[in-house]
Structure 1
């Protein structure tokens, strides 16, 4: 297939290049440009493929929902907005060609910090907004946090109807009988146009998941028994239904928490094949399997690799059919099972040279129009509409227009040896135009620890490269994606190995002549912030400056933060007990840290409590160390505010330059 590129001449188009030389940015300009939140955070395509709903940054922490008419080439004024404090629009999906269902996320403080979601329906012109979530009332016997999620958009023969999960909260009145004793997670058929609903799956207190076949039938159910203390258990019991049967049959068990999960984890049902796709460990690595739902429980390996985990399921269309699987070696790659998409993917790679990170985001009902994303290390990405009938592809909008005409840094996959000889993979980003020698440098460990870095655009690494730093992002042992042996016991229980690998990354930069040994710093976010601080506990002389954003600083404090929440037993098992808890807590070893430290944290952080940075700052001051601490009121773990991110970037750049003598 030959693909013709043409650009939509619409008001949403922003020129990507004027043909002029790359812009040279001041520190303030660079911080604002790289710190700006994405113009498109989520995007969805209408069932007829003629319009797109764009949800993205609208200044500061606010977000806006706009509609692009892909035929007329026009864009609407925002039809909905959120302030970001305390509510945020987080996802909008087309249910019909005229009406969308949007998820609203917000945080509240009721003596303890909680997050909650609600679902609202809205017409594409901004009218007819209605709350779809059934909220609690004065009779409710508890709080409603989960406002429901779309399980199935249903075939087009039922316009306006969706299958949605619903958390039922019991109701009663003082001095009278219980009004309703329904409790737990169930499924409803909801008409978002008429705002009517009926129960499809009765709620169960221990229900945690329902999976449909994409055609209106629930085929898989997950049940998670509670511990004796009332917390979420580490076992999920799955059941399934055969075709045209209401009877639940046992399927299998999945063990989660404390590290790598074991057992089959179901993800998607294929109604035509009558199978469920899911992930399970095979030879110590994640692999994709499918299991028959005809009663035979026949298990078939679909895709696996000997070097990395298979960790992504590629789905497309209104029925979310499975078309492939994805994995990351040095780059994210997709193995298509669908012959047409496999051929199309190869054609797109030729039509979009220099943008190898291609993914299908959404599709029209008949899949004749595909919404796709393409990007690279030096391109933050842009969305395209592909019309398979006309063989034309049109760009919709770039994700980060603020970086137009800014020279971005290439990212190279590298490997370096750890002290025990193990080869550690990672990514090296060098300043544009640099010879890569004797540079100020930053090691930037990723968050998680159950995560990994991948090749592509990273706004944090790109900012520091723009400011003249070499940046190394190591996938230390404790990272995911490389199998069970690499993950070990996780980056907290096995902190000495994980942090040792991070330090060895810094030593490698020096040995290779990339880093000036007197100008080596470390920057990290979340677990990466923990790692940045803990590296100095392990080797106080290696890094000359430390920047930690929303860091874990005391493992016992981290454990305690979850005590009043349902996931406490899982967090408790993940952290574990023993000498590593104290030895692996930088706040309890602050006296060993020599380098100056800069801390950032949001007061509404539900992942890592703000008390962790406050504790770290106090312990460093008590030990007579140099520390600066910046707190962002009302922001969460991600600091989802363009102004706050710009402030963080500019201040961290100035801090590093001063500490490193630049």
Structure 2
């Protein structure tokens, strides 16, 4: 398909699932409720024929609903739901036209800790014949934490998938000597209707990961070891591979997850008999391809001069590799497939104002493509494109509550840090604003090894809608800009990271965007830590602090991690020395002068709620203004639309009072 043919062939249609609303801007009666509403599409996939779609959408509270619908028209029907107490739906995908495989997860609390569990199950699209896919539970073994994962959807093999499966041995079985001793991770083919399995790889406790070639052949495995007598996981992952016509495992290489050293395998390509993966080149993650024919021939597939490769782009149930993604100022995809490259360009031309156009899924013959188009002012629209007819059929909106609402443009910016380094970030201004003399929010991201990217962000858009300028800095310690930018990490190198955040506030004032006495810090997770620590080292720079699920005490964070298998890795990540106490805002609460508002879920396993309770208590003991809002039975992401709306409304009122608005 030439580029010109692709452009001429695209026609538009509107399915009955959703039709586009009027482009006329409308006002919101309750902005916090509209922006806080969870996205309507949390997971989405096409059926093998491309005639149907399954997607996850929010219900009331923590409820998540699984819907199926015909892409050509008609209403969506609910297959099943989870209420979040404790199970929460994570994703669903078609095995054939009528049967689905889904994953649910939950947070489970015992006498000592809160920990995650997940389960895989299959179900018909009318909720019939549910079947669990994990190891069968019984009274003679401890319950496993995870079932495993689907590693090959086996297109063409009706109702059968290949999964890596977690096994837990039986402790006893009464008077019988027949005891199941299987332990660790193995691989099976499983009939999702009958539950019958055929073992492909025997379970072993050292096995941590398996990769299939998309044609039912396990070609790579990863193993992990335990650190001496500590019972803690090591950071090295050892990888092995097989020749296409041999079952013998051969040495491939080692990847260190803590130092990000070595080749990290992502996907095996059957036709090329090679594996794609990430490895550093000149200090940045690049995409390589290594032959699995025994020669280990290495080829550089794609690298960028200034940013890391962020992901491999794959398509359909066969998970065909079609491109590579990265983000400089904008999110971009470099397509390897020339037809999809031309089609992507044609779709961007056909959908003006939506530069981020991606192929989410495909029918098994790839003649129907699930397409998502979005931008900074478009939270996302989903289409099905028929390559035979050229019809582009809109089916769903990511956030229908915001349809027709004037949203804010997002502008990539760079500002100077104290040492002259230019810090990248994104500036969101209120709709229609001239960008002068505004109340402002500096909103560092979580992680810290993450980064903000260009596009729609519900938090930034809400505050901009309420009249604030919002700066999202990708401070040093952020991921995506190479090893030198990542530094040690945002905790061990907190002085640099927090300095960059604070320099962003000063830049807003120097540019005339913000008033010096009307700047606040707002952050989630590490972002909450960053704005609290900023208030310690530069009291008064931020006139108000909103911290959502923040880290506040680094020694306590190290101690909390000891209860988990990766506790030693967390300890090494945080390091040891005086920076731990110096970089803990809860231990210097008396230096904070700005009023503080904290939000935290009491089931948070990423950052324990004790971190916020400690900060709130220390601030109050020091005579400072502080309030902690606890959300019961919620985890780090606060996956409840009503709770998010409450958080937005309360934080906006708090900021307005503190900033004198």
TM range (shorter): over 0.9
Counterpart contact for 1:186–1:202, Cα < 8 Å: yes
Contact between 1:3 and 1:348, CA under 8 Å: does it hold in 2? no
Q: More displaced, 350-359 or 414-423?
A: 350-359
Q: Corresponding residue for 1:213?
A: 213
Structure 2 residue 26 is the aligned partner of structure 1 residue 23: yes
Q: Does 1:191 align with 2:191?
A: yes
Q: Does 1:98 align with 2:103?
A: no
Mapping of 1:30-69 within 5 angstroms?
A: 30-69=31-70
Q: Does residue 1:522 correspond to 2:521, yes or no?
A: yes
Cα deviations by residue, 1:480-536 (Å, 9 ceiling, x for unpaired): 000000000000000000000000000000111100111100100000000010011
Post-superposition Cα deviations, 1:48-100, rounded to whole Å, max 9, x if no partner, equal 110000111112211111111123x1134311011122111110011111100
Q: For residue 485 of structure 1, give the secondary structure of its aligned residue in structure 2.
A: helix
Secondary structure at 2:238's aligned position in 1? strand
| Cα distance, 1:342 vs structure 2 | 1.0
* Structure 2: distance between partners of 1:76 and 1:560: 47
Secondary structure of the corresponding residue to residue 342 of structure 1: helix
Q: Distance in 1 between matches of 2:209 and 2:178?
A: 27
Aligned to 1:452: 451
Q: What runs of 5+ residues in structure 2 fail to find an aligned partner? A: 1-5
Conserved 8 A contact 2:19-2:394: no
What is the CA–CA distance in structure 2 between the aligned matches of 1:120 and 1:136, rounded to whole Å?
14
Q: Which residue of 2 aligns with 1:8?
A: 14
Deviations 1:334-386 (A, max 9, x none): 11111111111111111111111111111000000000111000000011101
Partners of 1:175 and 1:629 in 2: CA distance? 51
Corresponding residue for 2:245?
244
Give the deviation of 1:180 after TM superposition: 1.4
2:291 aligned partner = 292
Give the deviation of 1:178 after TM superposition. Answer: 6.5
Distance 1:525 1:617 in 2: 16
Which residue in the other structure is 1:352 paired with? Answer: 351
Q: For 1:528, what is the secondary structure of its paired residue? A: helix
Post-superposition CA distance 1:444-498 (Å, at most 9, x none): 0000001000000000000000000000000000000000000000000000000
* 1:174 to partner: Cα distance: 6.4
Residues in 1 aligned to 2:500 and 2:76: alpha-carbon distance in whole angstroms: 50
- Counterpart CA distance in 2 for 1:386 and 1:126 is 28
1:305 aligns with 2:304: yes
Separation in 2, partners of 1:182, 1:148: 15
- Unaligned 5+ segments in structure 1 are none
Match of 1:148 in 2: 148
Deviation at 1:556, TM superposition (A): 1.2
Alpha-carbon separation, structure 1, partners of 2:346 and 2:14: 21
Q: How does 1:294-373 map to 2 (within 5 A)?
A: 294-373=293-372
State the TM-score, normalizing by the size of structure 2.
0.97
Determine if the alignment matches structure 1 residue 490 to structure 2 residue 496.
Answer: no
SS in 1 for 2:233: coil
TM superposition shift of 1:265: 0.2
SS of corresponding position for 1:582 = helix
Matches within 5 A, 1:416-427: 416-427=415-426
Contact 1:220 1:238 in 2 (8 A): yes
Q: Report deviation, 1:14.
A: 4.7
- 8 Å CA contact 1:172–1:178 kept in 2: the answer is no
What is the distance in 1 between the residues matched to 2:254 and 2:149? 24
Q: Is it true that 1:275 corresponds to 2:287 in the alignment?
A: no
Alignment of 1:445-484 (within 5 A): 445-484=444-483
Q: Give the RMSD, CA atoms, in angstroms.
A: 1.1
C-alpha contact 1:14 1:398 (8 A) present in aligned 2: no
Partners in 2 of 1:586 and 1:323 — Cα distance?
45
SS in structure 1 opposite 2:430?
A: coil
2:169 maps to 1:170 = yes
User: Who is 1:627 aligned against?
Assistant: 626
Distance 1:289 1:179, change over 3 A: same
- The 8 Å contact of residues 37 and 57 in structure 1, kept in 2 or not, is answered as yes
> 1:175 deviation in Å?
6.5
Q: Match of 1:649, SS?
A: helix
Contact 2:134 2:166 in 1 (8 A): no
Give distance in 2, aligned partners of 1:195 and 1:135: 10
Q: Alignment length, in residue pairs?
A: 652
8 Å Cα contact 2:173-2:179 kept in structure 1: no
- Distance (Å, rounded) in 1 between the aligned partners of 2:203 and 2:297: 30
Distance across 2 between alignment mates of 1:424 and 1:470: 18
